[in-house]
Structures are given as structure tokens and as C-alpha cells.
Structure 1
């Protein structure tokens, strides 16, 4: 089913650095048990840690739940110890990959240019990059949130992006894992600003591009957030580690 301007909502679970084999498979099985027999308005995606990608991918085969990775390298192969190339992720069944998450930008010093290169590598491997942008609390309190996020987006957008081949996620850094969320007015204003920026860079093609909200999305606030005009789904962190919470958020798309 589709939403505004033909955009089908996407609810993506980012498991981050959580889950051993037993945990990950149990969570996967619980999510699959919850989706069986249902008609889902949104597209569902889980992004396990790298150690679980192949195992979880095998479980998801034939289901409506997509598989995604949390990062990729910008080169397709080579001497890059510890990194994973986008073609490797596609080879084990990934359909999406998160790039530029604020935790990667902060912990690994990733720049907009690096995020752009990773997004382009993902697209070259037929993966859909989820490009993350978002401001810190200090930036918002200075009144710079819109300016900062617009600049991040401009610097991170891959060349040749299309509506079917790219997702943008707005995640205010100060809301990730803190239990705090912006007001609905603030979320709506940022999504409208991002839509305008996408249109400026990509033209009419951007009308069908999905913009997700992330940052302390949980079962108790999902319906309110997903009802905001311009919000095309959610990038869910901690709440995606509990199957029922994740599925409750997905149901809120209705």
C-alpha cells in the first residue's frame, strides 16, 4: 500500500551493536511470527549487526521483512581490514544499508563526503542507502538546526539518487537513545525543509522519496509521530530489539 505521493511508509529496525546468535534469531523469529498473515501498510526492515546478517537473512527469506546492514565501505573490495563492501552485503541478501548514522559520524569521524561515497557505493551494488542527517542539541539551541541539516543533506546526497533508490532519515542527535523527542511541530518543520532541499537538488523525482524520522521512537509515541505530515516512516533503535514494540510501531502506520 502507498501513502502520500505514492510513498509507502518504511519502518526500519536498527539493532546497533546488540545481539548474539541466540538473541538475534529469537528476535527474528518473534518478528516473523508477528507479521505472518497480516496485511502491512508499511515496508518492514531489520538491520542486525554484521555477525548476524547471514543468519537473519536466511530466516527472512520468503517473508515480507527486508534485510539491511548498518554500514558499508565506499570501495567494492580491497585492503580494508574489518570493513564490509556493499557488494558483499548484497551477496548475502541485504536490500538496504544505513549510512551516515550520527553514531558513525561521531564515533568514527565520518564526514558528509564519506557518507556520500558510501551511499554511491551502495547504489552501485543495487542496495538502497538510508542516508542519516541530524543536529546536536547545541545546534538546535543556537537556532541552526535547519541550516545544519540542510548542509549535511547537500554534502551526503549521492550522485544519481532516485526516489526508488534512496531513503533519507532525520535523526536529531540529542533524541537518539535519550527518551527525548522534538515536538511534532519541530519534526514536521524539519521534514518539510528536507523535502524542499531534496526538491532543490533532485527536482520532481524527490516527491516520491521517503524521509523517515528516528530518535527515541517507541510504541507509545509512534502513532503521533507517523501521523505528522511528511513523515514517511521511522528508523527505530532500542524499540526494535523487542518484537512486539517494533511491530506496534509498524502497525501505527495505519
Structure 2
């Protein structure tokens, strides 16, 4: 099971800017074959980015999808449309979708099922707010988001979980190693309760102000199987350093 390094560009980069990024980024990771790399650009960039990524080792991702395959749903994008564009991963349940677009666990569950039915892989984002953590509700929130988000999903092999504490997203605040460890261990335990031995094949990513400076310590935490990267993934050099995080550590040891 390879670690996954996934870029979430959110509402950044025009098509021109995305292609400029790839021109610099692709050569820097062309020799990377022991881990999985993905990029989720804005919808308007999917076709152009997908064409460039077609003959590379980088997977194409989308940041959202609707739960119907077709119909009168103005402004929405269906899973089958994404599949036709060779999208591999779809990010579902990001905290910004929950906050700004009022996505509930029920809606998220429907979206996951629709994506799986279309043959897509899903990155389910879960995580607590600062108020929930300070109220000692972190595990209750994670349990609820996992249980309801994965309700009725019998086979988890196409699911990736991304633990993103809301208070660490885009804030520059990184959860401590102890906080990340206990959250990932809890998620693994709950997945095992839901799926038994099959849970061992579900990767659990960490997301929240990941940078080249903290990636090494994050990746050395047990049960961390990769990262979902926001701001730092907008810079081809920074994202490349995150993916090849061992190189920086080796250089420092040789000094």
C-alpha cells in the first residue's frame, strides 16, 4: 500500500497557471514510483491538466461531485462526467464544503456512493473544529462523520480517509504529533470495527498546514499513510519537497 500525496488546489489557478505549474513540477517527480501522487485542480482545469498528466505517474483528482449522474441540477458536476475526464480521486466532505455549502453527513454519504458507482476513488475528509476539540468532542465527531459518511458502503477498497482538523486548515497551526497519532489510531480502530481486516487497506492521510518543514515528522507518525496538501501544493518546488521529504532529511544528516 503506497503512501498518497494529494494536492488540493481549491479555488486557485487558471488553466494557464495550472499548465505552468505542471511544466515545472512533472520533471521533479518523474522518478518517484514508490508512492502515489495526485493533483485536484479546479473543475475548469480538469480536461487540460488531465491531458498533461495522461502519460505521467500523477493521478488526476477532483474537489467535489454531485450525487446524481445526470439531471436538472444547475451548476453541478456528476461522477460520470469526472470519470470520462479520467479523474481517479474525488475529494468528498471537505470542511469548506461542510461549512460554506452546508453539506451534511447524509449528503456526503450519497456523494460517496455515487462516486463509487461511477468507478471513482473517494477521499473522505473528516475532522473536528476548534470548539469541538476544546470541548473534548474530537472522537465523537470523527466517529459520527465516519459512521454516517460510510453508511451502506460494504467495500472500502476505493476509500481513502483524510483527517483534517478544521482548526489547522490554512491557519499555519499544525496539530501536534500526539494529536495526529491519537486521531489516526482512533480512525483505524473505527474502520476495523466497520470493515474488519479490510480496514488495513484503507489509507489515512493527514491534512492541515502541511509544509516541507513539517512533513518528515508527520510522515513518521504511525498510521499516517500520506497527506492532503492545500496551500503548499500551489508551489511546484514546495509540493515536490513534500513528496520527496526523505531527501531533505538525508541532506541534513550529511552536513
1:30 has 2:18 as partner = no
Task: Describe the SS at the equivalent of 2:206.
Answer: strand
CA 1:68 to 1:161, structure 2 compared with 1: closer, same or farther past 3 Å? farther
CA distance in structure 1 between the aligned counterparts of 2:244 and 2:157, rounded to whole angstroms: 23
Contact 2:6 2:229 (8 Å CA) reproduced? yes
1:241 has 2:234 as partner = yes
Contact 1:226 1:253 (8 Å CA) reproduced? no
Task: Describe the SS at the equivalent of 1:109.
Answer: coil
Contact 1:136 1:172 (8 Å CA) reproduced? yes
2:171 maps to which of 175, 178, 181: 178
CA 1:22 to 1:158, structure 2 compared with 1: closer, same or farther past 3 Å? farther
TM-score (norm 2): 0.94
2:218 maps to which of 216, 225, 229: 225
- 1:34-113 alignment, distance < 5 Å: 34-36=28-30, 38-113=31-106
CA 1:44 to 1:253, structure 2 compared with 1: closer, same or farther past 3 Å? farther
CA 1:53 to 1:152, structure 2 compared with 1: closer, same or farther past 3 Å? same
What's the CA shift for 1:22? 1.3
Task: Describe the SS at the equivalent of 2:76.
Answer: coil
CA distance in structure 2 between the aligned counterparts of 1:79 and 1:208, rounded to whole angstroms: 37
Q: Could you list the runs of 4 or more consecutive aligned residues of structure 1 that deviate by over 6 angstroms after TM superposition?
A: none
What's the CA shift for 1:182? 1.1
CA distance in structure 1 between the aligned counterparts of 2:154 and 2:133, rounded to whole angstroms: 28
- 1:85-234 alignment, distance < 5 Å: 85-157=78-150, 159-234=152-227
Contact 2:156 2:195 (8 Å CA) reproduced? no
What's the CA shift for 1:161? 4.7
CA distance in structure 2 between the aligned counterparts of 1:158 and 1:145, rounded to whole angstroms: 20
CA distance in structure 1 between the aligned counterparts of 2:106 and 2:156, rounded to whole angstroms: 21
Number of equivalent positions? 247
CA distance in structure 2 between the aligned counterparts of 1:250 and 1:39, rounded to whole angstroms: 9
TM-score (norm 1): 0.95
> What's the RMSD between the two structures over aligned residues?
1.2
What's the CA shift for 1:159? 2.9
CA distance in structure 2 between the aligned counterparts of 1:117 and 1:202, rounded to whole angstroms: 19
CA distance in structure 2 between the aligned counterparts of 1:236 and 1:13, rounded to whole angstroms: 5
Partner in structure 2 of residue 19 of structure 1: 13
Question: Structure 1 stretches of 5 or more lacking a match?
Answer: 1-6
